[in-house]
Amino acid sequence: MIVSKALFQKGKGEIHILGGCGVEGVECIRYLWKKGYTQIVVHDMGTKEDFGERIQKAHVALTPSERENLVREILSLPITFRFHNEYLKGILESQVIFAGQNWRNYPANYPLLSKAEEKGIPILNMINLYFYEAPCPIIGVTGTNGKTTVCHLLLHLLKQEKKIYLSGNDIFHPQCLHKIHELGPKDFLLLEISNRHLQFLSQSPHIAVLTSISEDHLDEHKGFPGYWDTKMKIFRYQTTMDKAIIPSSLAGDIQKEGYRSQFFTFGKKGHFRIQKGWLGIQTSLGFEPILAREEFPLLGKHNLENGLAALGAAYLAGLSKDSLKKGLATFRGVKNRLQLVQKLKGISFYNDLASTSPSATLAALRSLSGRIFWIGGGDAKGADYSELIHFVNNEDIVPLLLPGTVREELQSRLVRARSMETLHHALQKAWKEAEEGDIVLLSPAGAHFYSHILQNGKISFIRLVKKLRRAS
């Protein structure tokens, strides 16, 4: 749905916000209050007593003092809060509902939100407000894997010459909706857009990037065709003035759908590709090299693809070739994405917490060489694990599987799989058996690892590795 001034008007009724302590809920509260909307009702499944504590836990991208200030700011507002037993009370009388991107995954939201949809009450998300408020061109990035890396690399590239704000799709990067008014018409807004965000949207960015697409979230989309169709929404509303950047391997399938975008490809034989050892751009005058492959600092073939996608978007946004080269060469990656945490006695520990699908974990495993103690777990989301299983069984990889449906799916199909109950035990096992030159890789291959296994940050892979260092 497209947000318009006519959609929600001051004094015309209550605006209800779901998930009041979460990142999206808090950002919507702050935005609407600053815009002068006072009839705000915030719904939260938890209790009033621990609301402030849960805000602090959800906003891990902020410093402790910033979190405390945020709690004071939200609790000081003269708005209505409905906690626990009053959750969703009065929702069917609302003018507009703002919900978190995964509201459909919480049974408590049914049947009232379904009735609200049937009644014609708009259900919107923070992403709609970004499109509504943006005073400048929007670059939107989606994809099964790679979108966070591409977004942060794009931010790193473009901020050399341009003012740019990023709205990431992870809890480790703060939102910017409350300060979007600081941007001007020559600046850029960069959005990391999930499949769940796309379900809310009836608009497309000026520059749309699809990093990759493979089986993921199949349980939510009733199979791969539904997931594909949702991802294609990033192009659906583009005009002939807008640009789309896609993997060259998907060009035929995407372009036959008849979108109006100007399409550019990255990868093999793409507009943005590697040729004779150089990352570069194919122009009407020929291939223009930008950076030697060995100078690009990120590991893995998948990260080379991410680099080409970001190169393409930055080039189309008008970045100079000098800044493209400098930015690509100086990017140091993203936290939780194939992040080298420590080397202890010749053993390398990598944190790849963000890989929550089998294809992402497979890409990480392929990027490393040597014997790998792979720690995985979480929930499988209906994805196909056969390619990951085949690779692990045919390489020198020791799977250490933590609780969840990923373990249920893989335990009997991986010849060297070992069942572990805690991350601490998995690390101790790897540390005991690993030798110089080996690798310990945390890469879940499933969802909810952070919330279920790491208990929303109470348990930290990095801290546990540092304990090994102190004990060694």
Let me know whether 315 and 404 are in one domain. no
Distance CA 399, CA 372 (A): 8
Q: In 10 A of CB 172, how many CB atoms?
A: 13
What string of DSSP letters covers 373-407?
EEEE-SB-TT---HHHHHHHHTTTEEEEEPSSHHH
Let me know whether 343 and 325 are in one domain. no
Pick from 90-104, 214-228, 409-423, 442-456 the range whose average pLDDT is largest: 409-423
Instruction: Look at 105 and 141; give whichever has higher pLDDT.
Output: 141
Taking the CA atoms of 201, 203, 209 and 210 in sequence, report the sign of the dihedral they define. Answer: positive
Kindly report the CATH number assigned to the domain that includes residue 345: 3.90.190.20
- Distance, first Cα to last Cα, the chain: 56
Question: Is 359 part of any domain?
Answer: yes
Judged by DSSP in three states, 137 sits in coil
Q: Tell me: the pLDDT tens digits for 194-207?
A: 988 998 888 999 99
Question: Is 8 part of any domain?
Answer: no
Q: Tell me: the pLDDT tens digits for 75-89?
A: 999 999 999 999 999
Question: Is 417 part of any domain?
Answer: yes
pLDDT number for residue 451: 85
Let me know whether 119 and 131 are in one domain. no
pLDDT number for residue 458: 85
In this prediction the pTM is 0.83
Residue 139 β-bridge partners: 190, 207
pLDDT at residue 164 tops 90: yes
Measured CA to CA in angstroms, residue 24 lies from 55, 93, 99, 222 at distances of 11, 22, 8, 26
pLDDT number for residue 452: 87
pLDDT number for residue 211: 96
Q: Tell me: the pLDDT tens digits for 427-440?
A: 999 999 999 999 99
Which are the contacts of 127, defined by CB distance < 8 A and separation ≥ 6?
A: 101, 167, 191, 193, 197, 200, 201
Let me know whether 354 and 282 are in one domain. no
Question: Is 443 part of any domain?
Answer: yes
Could you tell me the two tokens for 204? 């497309």
Let me know whether 172 and 151 are in one domain. yes
In the numeric block, the tokens 């390619």 are attached to 387
> What counts of helices (H) and strands (E) characterise the chain?
18, 20
Kindly report the CATH number assigned to the domain that includes residue 254: 3.40.1190.10
Let me know whether 211 and 289 are in one domain. yes
Strands 123-124 and 138-142: unpaired
pLDDT number for residue 3: 63
Question: Is 7 part of any domain?
Answer: no
Could you tell me the two tokens for 6? 């006519």
Distance CA 426, CA 403 (A): 11
Q: Which residue type, as a one-letter code, is found at position 322?
A: D
In the numeric block, the tokens 């499988």 are attached to 380
pLDDT at residue 5 tops 60: no
Which are the contacts of 170, defined by CB distance < 8 A and separation ≥ 6?
A: 148, 192, 336, 354
Kindly report the CATH number assigned to the domain that includes residue 57: 3.40.50.720
Let me know whether 112 and 132 are in one domain. no
Percent of the chain with pLDDT over 90: 71
Please give the mean pLDDT across all residues of the chain.
91
3-state helix, strand and coil shares in percent for the chain, rounded to the nearest 5 = 40, 20, 40
Q: Is 374 left (phi over 0), alpha (psi -120 to 50) or beta?
A: beta
Residue range of the domain that includes 453: 339-471
Let me know whether 108 and 151 are in one domain. no
Q: Tell me: the pLDDT tens digits for 399-424?
A: 999 999 999 999 999 999 999 999 99
Which are the contacts of 140, defined by CB distance < 8 A and separation ≥ 6?
A: 190, 191, 193, 204, 205, 207, 208, 209, 234
Number of domains in the chain: 3
Question: Is 86 part of any domain?
Answer: yes
pLDDT number for residue 255: 86
Question: Is 295 part of any domain?
Answer: yes
Strands 164-167 and 262-266: unpaired
pLDDT at residue 331 tops 60: yes
Let me know whether 193 and 171 are in one domain. yes
Distance CA 197, CA 209 (A): 15
Average pLDDT of the segment spanning 69-73: 94
Let me know whether 288 and 355 are in one domain. no
- CA angle (142 as vertex; 141, 146 as ends), nearest 5: 90
Question: pLDDT-based confidence at 104, cuts 50/70/90?
Answer: confident
Distance CA 419, CA 401 (A): 5
Q: Which of 95, 124, 153 is the last residue of a domain?
A: 124
CA 51 to chain centroid: 25
Q: Which of 272, 298, 330 is the last residue of a domain?
A: 330
Let me know whether 216 and 363 are in one domain. no
Could you tell me the two tokens for 319? 């970045």
Question: Is 10 part of any domain?
Answer: no
Let me know whether 369 and 320 are in one domain. no
Please name the residue ranges forming H helices in 273-368: 301-316, 321-330, 358-367
Q: Which of 124, 139, 173 is the last residue of a domain?
A: 124
Q: Are 216 and 383 in contact (CB under 8 A)?
A: yes
